[in-house]
Structure 1
Amino acid sequence: MTTQDHERLRQHPDFIQLVRRKQRLTWSLTLAMLAIYYGFVLVMAFAPGVLSQSLNGGATSLGIPVAVVVIVLSFALTAFYVQQTNQVLDPLVAKLVQEEQQ
């Protein structure tokens, strides 16, 4: 591709939409995961009594299921990213590639 081709692609409305959607998705999920993870860490650091409470009087504390939820949410956010990429972003890329080949 020449410099003119690159510039034409950068000005294409579908390419601009693709970049904006990808950035919005990426930053939204990044911020969500950071909030979840650092929220958990901050609770551990500044309110350890909350997570050290026993569940049903047993040996398991509240921190264990909360940590499992943090891990499961990271997998869920990853699955959401893959789903959005496959259903929204990839068709835009395919459309751009098809237009460039013509």
Structure 2
Amino acid sequence: MSSSIYSHIRHDPRFAELAARRRLFAGTMTAIVLVAFYGFVLLVAFWPEMIGRRLFEGSNLSFGVAAGMFQFALFWGLTYLYVRRANGEFEVLNQQIVNDALRAQK
């Protein structure tokens, strides 16, 4: 692509909107991951008796194991959500911006 196409894309207000929406979405996802991961690490470090506590009387499953499995499920779910939104909403807007820039070049 030529520099005039890049210039057209950079000056398109939808490009700024796309960048802002992606930044907000990625920031939110990052915050969720960091809170979940470091929250678990801090729980292990400062409240180990909670990690070893059984979920209910007679259970072989501890809170720590359940929390660890929840993290795997959470991270898989967040990955699915990110891929779905990136390949859907963000990609559609991206293609519109690029196609308009190419049409304006002709």
TM-score of the two chains, using structure 2 as the length reference? 0.86
Report the alpha carbon displacement of residue 89 of structure 1 after superposing the two structures with TM: 0.3
Tell me the equivalent position of 2:62.
61
Alpha-carbon spacing, 1:101–1:6, altered in 2? closer, same or farther (3 Å):
closer
- Which aligned pairs between 1:37-76 and structure 2 lie closer than 5 A? 37-55=37-55, 56-76=57-77
For residue 24 of structure 1, what is the amino acid of its counterpart?
L
Letter of the structure 2 residue corresponding to residue 84 of structure 1: R
| Displacement of 1:60 | 3.0
Residues 52-101 of structure 1: per-residue CA shift (max 9 Å, x gap): 01233344321111100011000011111112112210111110121122
Identical-residue share of aligned pairs (%):
27
5 Å-filtered alignment, 1:1-102, equals 1-55=1-55, 56-102=57-103
2-11 or 57-66: bigger deviation? 2-11
Distance 1:101 1:2, change over 3 A: closer
Q: Which has the higher contact order (CA 8 A, sep 6+)?
A: 2
Which 5+ residue runs of structure 2 have no aligned equivalent?
none
> Unaligned 5+ residue runs, structure 1?
none
1:34 & 1:15 partners in 2: Cα distance?
28
Q: CA RMSD in A?
A: 1.5
Number of corresponding residues: 102
Report deviation, 1:2. Answer: 4.2
